[in-house]
Amino acid sequence: MVTNSPNHYYSYSSPPKKSSQGPKNAFSTLPIRFAKQLDTWFLGTIRDTLGFCSGCLIFSRMLNTVSEMAVMLVSEITGQPYISSPVGVLTVLCGVGAFFFFLEERAKWRLFNYFPPLIFIYAIPAIMSNTGVLTKTSAVYDWLGEMVLPMFLVILLLKVDVVSTVRMMGRGIFVMLFGTAGVVLGAPIAYLLVRDRLPESLDAWKAFGTLAGSWIGGTGNMAAVSEGIDTSGEGFGLAVLGDNLVYIVWLPILLGSKSFHRVFNRFTRVDQKRIAMLESAQIESQEEQRVKMRHFLYLLVLGFACTWLAGAISQELPEYKPVLTASTWRILLITTMGLLLSLTPAKRIPASHELAMALVYIFVANMGAKADVSGLGGSAAWFLLACYVWIAIHGAFCVLGAYLLRVDIHSTAIASAANIGGAASAPVVASHHNEKLVPASILMALIGYAIGNYGAFAAAWLCYRLSY
């Protein structure tokens, strides 16, 4: 997930003087000022994207060279990793996330608009483990997968509020479900296009299923699905890469769509009553409780209790490998338990989302530490190509849903952001389109967390069916 968004793509110039000859370009059916905004935005986006991709290629080549040199150096000095004790490993996993979020907050570098902390949190442990600085096998890695992942999933779902979201967004929530269908059905289509270009040893269908978790819900879902279908560290790395490189192109499109709200709303035949409803939108605010020590105990006992119960039940359920395994059942049961708890007073426990996200990023660092990135470069280009096709399918489904349900551009853009970007990005898009919809956008993103695991496992199963 990306926590910041670049807004420098847009330059709004004054409309040109009227001419008796009329417009002569391809946008003659649109107001001239919208056409000029599209030209400026599109060219700026293409320029920045090409520059960014070129930088990524140069950076990856340099990183590969440095990694090879570091491996040779470490192997000559010592025959074992420098950091191998459980306490040392856990310090690294927590410290990487803490450092980059601290740097993002204090430095305010534009670098983080393109390279969010998530990339570094995955990449730094991966580099350390692949150069022999950090061990690739540790009891900490197993413990994080067995205990911490299901625990933070329960805590993450406590704030889901389906009733408030539907009351606020109305048909907009169903546009999000159309977007979710686009992610689920787009996954096997994109996978089929590049299946023969990706190595069989990668089990690429697992990378697609893992990315589907992020694009329907968020980083927590991506982590949960990767554990459920046993995605390799390399596959998880491809999912992280695709998630972020697609995001930097898709977010400006969602932000720039505001300029075409009149054209889009005429196309989707939006009722003026809905426009008026959005203009006067309000949502009930809940009084924030002061966080106390006992609240963390409440969250921990709920998380561990559900983890224990789901683990016991999953062992008794039938398996249909490789998609529906005991691990898959455990994640699905955990998700269901978390949603049921969101209907109880447990949803009012403060700091649940913050604690869950901190644990999510520790798990992402854990996945990086276990990854073997030596063969990642050859697969990345084809996987990224599939991702861009995939996101186009998602966008088409969102537009289709908006047309069938007569939904405005603001709600449609927020629905897509709630899918692709999650709780970090939906408020950014909402504040750009209509600040009154920011609270609803957060609730919509939480709905994505609720359905993310179910949809991602379905996408993974569809891709698996095409893998042979």
**457/48: higher pLDDT:** 457
How many C-beta atoms surround the C-beta of residue 317 within 10 A?
Answer: 14
Inform me whether the pLDDT recorded for 13 exceeds 70: no
Q: Pick the range with the lowest mean pLDDT from 52-66, 91-105, 203-217, 437-451.
A: 52-66
Give the CA-trace dihedral at 78, 84, 85, 87, to 10 degrees: 130
Token pair of 267, please? 């196309």
Per-residue pLDDT tens over the stretch 259-297? 888 899 899 988 777 666 665 555 555 556 789 999 999
Q: Is residue 17 part of a domain?
A: no
Range of the domain at 198: 49-281+293-465
Chain-centre distance for alpha carbon 45: 21
pLDDT exceeding 70 applies to what percent of the chain?
78
Confidence of residue 22 (pLDDT cuts 50, 70, 90): very low
Q: Is residue 162 part of a domain?
A: yes
Query: 175 with 414: CB under 8 angstroms?
Result: no
Mean pLDDT of 27-36: 49
Q: What is the pLDDT of residue 244?
A: 87
Burial zone of 321 (CB within 10 Å; 0-12 exposed, 13-18 middle, 19+ buried)? exposed
Dihedrals phi, psi of 254, to nearest 5 degrees: -65, -40
Q: Is residue 2 part of a domain?
A: no
Per-residue pLDDT tens over the stretch 303-317? 999 999 999 999 999
Q: What is the pLDDT of residue 50?
A: 53
Query: 217 with 425: CB under 8 angstroms?
Result: no
Q: How many domains does the chain have?
A: 1
Give the CA-trace dihedral at 437, 414, 459, 146, to 10 degrees: -50
Rounded distance between C-alpha atoms, residue 208 and residue 383, angstroms = 9
Inform me whether the pLDDT recorded for 57 exceeds 70: no
Per-residue pLDDT tens over the stretch 411-443? 999 999 999 988 878 888 988 888 778 888 888
Query: 332 with 460: CB under 8 angstroms?
Result: no
What is the distance in angstroms between the CA of the first residue and the CA of the last residue of the chain? 32
Confidence of residue 370 (pLDDT cuts 50, 70, 90): confident
Q: Is residue 43 part of a domain?
A: no
Confidence of residue 46 (pLDDT cuts 50, 70, 90): low
Question: If you search the block for the tokens 């899918």, which residue do you land on?
Answer: 419
Q: Is residue 18 part of a domain?
A: no
Confidence of residue 30 (pLDDT cuts 50, 70, 90): very low
Rounded distance between C-alpha atoms, residue 168 and residue 181, angstroms = 22
Q: What's the whole-model pTM score?
A: 0.76
Q: Is residue 11 part of a domain?
A: no
Token pair of 161, please? 């509020």
Q: Is residue 392 part of a domain?
A: yes
Query: Is the link from the previous residue into 116 a cis peptide, with omega within 30 of 0?
Result: no
Rounded distance between C-alpha atoms, residue 191 and residue 152, angstroms = 30
Q: What is the pLDDT of residue 228?
A: 92
Inform me whether the pLDDT recorded for 386 exceeds 90: yes
Query: 303 with 352: CB under 8 angstroms?
Result: no
Q: What is the pLDDT of residue 18?
A: 45
Query: 258 with 433: CB under 8 angstroms?
Result: yes
- Return mean pLDDT, the chain: 82
Query: Of 39-43, 127-131, 237-241, 386-390, where does the model show the most confidence?
Result: 386-390
Query: Which of 55, 65, 86, 85 lies closest to 131, judged by CA?
Result: 65
Inform me whether the pLDDT recorded for 363 exceeds 70: yes
Q: Pick the range with the lowest mean pLDDT from 55-59, 100-104, 343-347, 441-445.
A: 55-59
Q: Is residue 1 part of a domain?
A: no
